[in-house]
């Protein structure tokens, strides 16, 4: 498996590399919250010796209700990302939803992420791959809840064809639909995706979602099982995941999106320390 590098940031992911941490907020709320969250997580990862990428969404385009908070949008989001990079000095990851967003995002973003529901949208995948490749970044593709792990070979091949065989793809496991309002993670799928010759991460936050099943809103938003995030993250790292994707908030219950799945920022150091130790054991 190739090792992917963000040379400017001295960050790498893949065989023989430390556990990569892609973590931050579910969605951008205020510039101050983004900067402080990035600063705290960078300090923790620096102390633990783990590569760190700050993550947040500028737009949650698939909220359950049209009334739900979606984020500040592309223009304001890019300004916040610029501030985070300038003031905290970290690489940044965010989601893309439309082809026209690829070029402006790639000017600022280091890790461009294809949402799970859009992972088979060929035009979006190709446009994102080409834009982020020109910028020297990575394409982080979440496996659709409807796909078998081995079916991701078509995603990987699309990207490689779009960028003349360059290695820029990371696949992300985030659970499979299991009946109504539920997701499950097949840990054997991590190994299956790694057989495709790309690094694999675990999105433990979204893997504990209960789609459309938040009892607080009568199904107008997605529920979640916060207590399961650490369980899934630990199991995935032991199963071979090269990186973890996690979402934190200083006050999770007040997070403006996916609060039931969000972790308290105060617990980040303990969890990441445990994941580092498990990664070391799994890669002996």
Q: How many domains does the chain have?
A: 1
Catalytic hit among 95, 110, 214, 258:
258
Residue 79, Cβ density class (10 Å: 0-12 exposed, 13-18 middle, ≥19 buried): middle
User: pLDDT of 219-271, one tens digit each?
Assistant: 555 666 888 999 999 999 999 999 999 999 999 999 887 778 889 999 999 99
CATH number at residue 100: 3.20.20.70
Residue 276 structural domain: 4-282
- Establish whether 258 is a catalytic residue: yes
Taking 50 as the threshold, does the pLDDT of residue 213 lie above it?
no
Asked about 214 being catalytic, the answer comes back as: no
Determine which of 36-50, 100-114, 137-151, 179-193 has the lowest per-residue pLDDT on average. Answer: 179-193
- Read off the tokens for 123: 């035009």
pLDDT in tens, 180-204: 888 899 999 999 999 999 999 999 9
Give catalytic status of residue 60 as yes or no.
yes
Task: Give residue 220's pLDDT.
Answer: 53
Catalytic residue among 42, 60, 194, 234: 60
Catalytic residue among 26, 59, 158, 234: 26
CB-based contact 119:155 (threshold 8 Å): yes
For 22, 103, 145, 160, 166, the CA distances from 133, given in Å and listed in that order, are 19, 11, 26, 11, 8
């Amino acid at each position: 498996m190739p090792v992917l590098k963000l040379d400017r940031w001295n960050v790498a992911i893949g065989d023989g590399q430390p556990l990569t941490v892609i973590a931050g907020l579910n969605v951008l709320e205020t510039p101050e919250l983004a900067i402080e969250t990035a600063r705290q997580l960078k300090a923790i990862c620096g102390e633990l010796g783990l590569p760190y990428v700050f993550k947040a969404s500028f737009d949650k385009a698939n909220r359950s209700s049209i009334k739900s908070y979606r984020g500040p949008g592309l223009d304001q989001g890019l300004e916040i990302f610029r501030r985070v990079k300038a003031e905290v000095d970290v690489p940044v990851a965010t989601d893309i939803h439309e082809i026209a967003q690829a070029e402006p995002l790639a000017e600022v973003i280091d890790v461009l992420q294809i949402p799970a529901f859009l992972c088979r949208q060929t035009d979006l995948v190709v446009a994102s791959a080409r834009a982020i490749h020109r910028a020297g970044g990575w394409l982080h593709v979440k496996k659709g809840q409807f796909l078998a792990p081995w079916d991701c070979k078509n995603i990987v091949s699309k990207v490689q064809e779009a960028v003349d065989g360059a290695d820029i793809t990371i696949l992300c496991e985030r659970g499979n639909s299991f009946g109504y309002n539920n997701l499950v993670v097949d840990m054997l799928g991590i190994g299956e995706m790694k057989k495709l010759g790309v690094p694999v991460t675990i999105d433990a936050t979204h893997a504990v979602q209960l789609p459309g099943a938040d009892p607080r809103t009568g199904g107008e938003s997605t529920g979640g099982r916060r207590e399961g995030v650490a369980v899934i993250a630990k199991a995935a790292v032991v199963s071979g995941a090269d990186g973890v994707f996690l979402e934190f908030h200083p006050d999770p219950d007040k997070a403006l999106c996916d609060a039931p799945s969000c972790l308290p920022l105060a617990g980040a150091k303990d969890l990441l320390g445990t994941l580092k130790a498990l990664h070391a054991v799994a890669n002996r």
